[in-house]
Amino acid sequence: MPSPIILVHGGAWAIPDAACPAHQQGVERAAAAGWRALERGASSLDAVEEAVAVLEDDDTFDAGRGAFLNRDGRVQLDALIMDGASLKAGGVGCVERILNPVRAARVVLEKSPHIYFVAEGAERFATEHGIPLIDNSELVLQREVERWKSAAEQRYLSVPAEFSGDSHDTVGAVALDVQGNIAAATSTGGTLNKAPGRVGDSSLIGCGCYADNETAAASTTGWGEPMMKLVFAKWATDKVTADVAPAQVAPASIHYLKRRLNGQGGIILLDREGRIGLAHNTPRMAWAWRSQQSSESGLTAPQQ
């Protein structure tokens, strides 16, 4: 019987020293929530949903409440969840009135023959399936209004300054359950001052999130456009084999991202054997994992 495990990240960027405790405690809380699900025998899908919902609820991170504002000064959220056993996935993009986009994505996975809904259609689908809609202002923090005002002079999409400055980033989780199935979920507010309607890698299947029992589960964080061009999460999971472990693939993936497109970011990986990998080329990436045997967290990837 496989030994369940959950691994989460809270974004790869230049987390300042003063923000480190909030980031580390946030990912630890998320891993604990995912672990509680796994411990009671819930599926890896349940575990990644619970973990990512905790990160969305925590305004430390660029997901859910407290996410970056777009050029219109509104929060616009994207999320994807994927089941490695069935390859079923559910995603939402550009939603503005949902507190936990990962839960809306889960409903898409469970209840729809489709994989991806955007904007009002996504919100309508969510509310038809019991997810309440909120006002966009409930997702907006004053901290982000200030950040947005100071970024308003910059050209959106020109320089990924948010990955090196005073900022925050995308969240995600990968998990293995007692049945031996893996799953992944990723959720984001995207990039600072993004163009309304812009969707990044996080919620696009194979770009910022992927799970296949035959290879691995992945969630990525960082500058989305390069990751989209490389279909980055799928590229990485396809490299995992019996002989090539996630711990080798994660740094190789980040090297590839940098070499091909000068991309910046991070990745977490997990396979059905419970082998994990994490890597980033930003100064820091918040991460935490838990299993029956132990738990660990940090702000830079351990030497693998």
List residues near ligand GLY by CB under 6 A.
Answer: 170, 188, 190-191, 200-202, 208, 221-224
CB of 175 to ligand GLY, least distance (A): 20
Q: Is 182 in a helix, a strand, or coil?
A: strand
Sign of CA dihedral 92, 98, 99, 103: negative
CB of 159 to ligand GLY, least distance (A): 13
CB of 224 to ligand GLY, least distance (A): 2
Q: Which two tokens stand for residue 84?
A: 């490695």
Q: Is 92 in a helix, a strand, or coil?
A: strand
**Which residues have CB under 8 Å from 177's CB, separation 6+?**
2, 4, 38, 41, 42, 43, 44, 47, 183
CB of 203 to ligand GLY, least distance (A): 8
Give the residue with the Cβ less far from ligand GLY, 76 or 291: 76
Q: Which two tokens stand for residue 6?
A: 């959950």
Rounded to whole angstroms, the Cα distance separating 196 from 136 reads 14
Question: What are the residue numbers of the active site?
Answer: 170
Quick one: which H or E segment has residue 219? Answer: strand 217-222
CA atoms within 13 A on the CB side of 55: 39
Strand order in the sheet with 182-188: 116-118, 89-95, 77-83, 182-188, 171-176, 5-13, 284-291, 295-298
**Which residues have CB under 8 Å from 302's CB, separation 6+?**
278, 296
Instruction: State residue 285 phi and psi, 5-degree precision.
Output: -150, 125
Instruction: State residue 175 phi and psi, 5-degree precision.
Output: -150, 155
CB of 264 to ligand GLY, least distance (A): 10
CB of 170 to ligand GLY, least distance (A): 4
End-to-end CA distance of the chain: 26
Sign of CA dihedral 49, 54, 56, 57: positive
Give the residue with the Cβ less far from ligand GLY, 78 or 177: 78
Q: Which two tokens stand for residue 228?
A: 């989209």
